[in-house]
Amino acid sequence: MKDLISITDLSIEELQELIIKAEDIIENPDKYCDKCKRKKLATLFFEPSTRTRLSFEAAMLELGGNVIGFSEASSSSASKGESVADTAQTISCYADIIAMRHPKEGAPLVAAKAASIPVINAGDGGHNHPTQTLTDLLTIFREKGRLNNLKIGFCGDLKFGRTVHSLITAMSRYEGNSFVLISPEELRIPGYIKKDVLERNGLPYKETDNWNDMPELDILYMTRVQRERFFNEADYLRLRDVFILTMDKLAIAKQDLCIMHPLPRVNEIERAVDDDKRACYFKQVLNGKYIRMALILKLLGID
């Protein structure tokens, strides 16, 4: 595999290989500190990012490599009208691997076709975010010890959340998983996810606007209910507090519930939850670095 554009580019066997590699990196960091010596990662970020960009950079530095790139489109020749394909061909002359985030869906695929080095999609519009999905899979595996036979709740903006769509797609490939989709009607999961992913694979799912299924959940994946997604202010104000995770709502949850969030958080998880042992969203951040280290090694063909 040369590039990673979508999570479906990876087989279940390859996903497991990456998880095993990431766990070995966690256990034996010194073994990997020079694996990418003299290698360069180019981070081409055409829109803002904190965790994704810095985790890629930290991953490459901890592998002994170097990082070049830019953190906004205005810092690149894109501001002069250069195409994504030309940028990718140019960067291929300077680096060994590219991580690209772009506001336009499909831009990393265009870059991958033009580049002579591996390209990783670090998020393209509302389309794909495969390394966040890898981060989520590693977190679930480390917390639950498996990726199958889990009841997973997704809460918040399920209509526009690319991380939700990608994780549902990934978890649909494992046996015995079921889904509870908690959102206001305005932000329900898109029809194509229900039809092409959940229903096509015969996966049990339930759409709801309440927390009644909380006691049964193994995983709770929170996302932000965004004011700008509503047609009027009154609907937003009516619904926003319903989808905030509080300690009161957690009182009926399993003691080994795994609470996840792709971040950034605004107010959808109250701060008191951070101290609960079930809160795993900052573990997710750290896991993102390790799984990206494993992915860089795989795409560069380094054991």
Stretch among 71-75, 89-93, 143-147 having the lowest mean pLDDT: 71-75
Burial class of residue 232 in the structure, from the number of CB atoms within 10 Å of its CB (0-12 exposed, 13-18 middle, 19+ buried): exposed
SS3 258: strand
Please state the rounded mean pLDDT for residues 56-70. Answer: 96
| Residue count (the chain) | 303
The DSSP H or E segment spanning 155 is strand 151-155
Catalytic, out of 21, 127, 129, 159: 129
Please state the rounded mean pLDDT for residues 91-114. Answer: 94
Residue 80 reports pLDDT greater than 60 = no
R_g of the chain computed on alpha carbons? 19
* Tokens of residue 289, six digits: 């670095």
* Tokens of residue 10, six digits: 């990876």
Which sign does the torsion angle of CA 76, 81, 84, 90 carry? negative
Tell me the average pLDDT of the chain.
91
pLDDT digits (tens, 9 = 90+) for 255-301: 999 999 998 888 899 999 999 999 999 999 999 999 999 999 999 99
Catalytic, out of 43, 52, 163, 223: 52
Catalytic, out of 21, 40, 53, 101: 101
| Assessment of whether the complete model's pTM goes beyond 0.75 | yes
Q: What are the residue ranges of CATH 3.40.50.1370 in the chain?
A: 7-128+288-300, 131-284
| β partners of residue 61 | none
Residue 101 is a catalytic residue: yes
Residue 146 is a catalytic residue: no
Domain 7-128+288-300 class?
alpha beta
* Tokens of residue 59, six digits: 């991953």
The pLDDT value given to residue 146:
97
Residue 47 reports pLDDT greater than 60 = yes
DSSP type of residue 190: P
| Most confident of the following: 19-33, 177-191, 237-251 | 19-33
Residue 80 is a catalytic residue: yes
How far from chain centre, in Å, is Cα 9? 15
pLDDT digits (tens, 9 = 90+) for 219-247: 999 998 766 666 678 877 777 677 899 99
The pLDDT value given to residue 81:
62
Contact (Cβ atoms closer than 8 angstroms) between residue 297 and residue 21: yes
| 123 against 26, higher pLDDT | 26
Residue 50 reports pLDDT greater than 90 = no
Candidate CATH numbers 3.40.50.1370, 3.10.620.30, 3.40.50.2300, 3.40.50.720; the one for domain 131-284: 3.40.50.1370
Cα gap 18→291, rounded to integer Å:
7
The pLDDT value given to residue 77:
53
Residue 188 is a catalytic residue: no
The pLDDT value given to residue 237:
77
Cα gap 256→258, rounded to integer Å:
6
The pLDDT value given to residue 246:
95
Contact (Cβ atoms closer than 8 angstroms) between residue 242 and residue 155: no
Residue 76 reports pLDDT greater than 70 = no
Cα gap 67→125, rounded to integer Å:
24
Residue 139 is a catalytic residue: no
Amino acid at 22: A
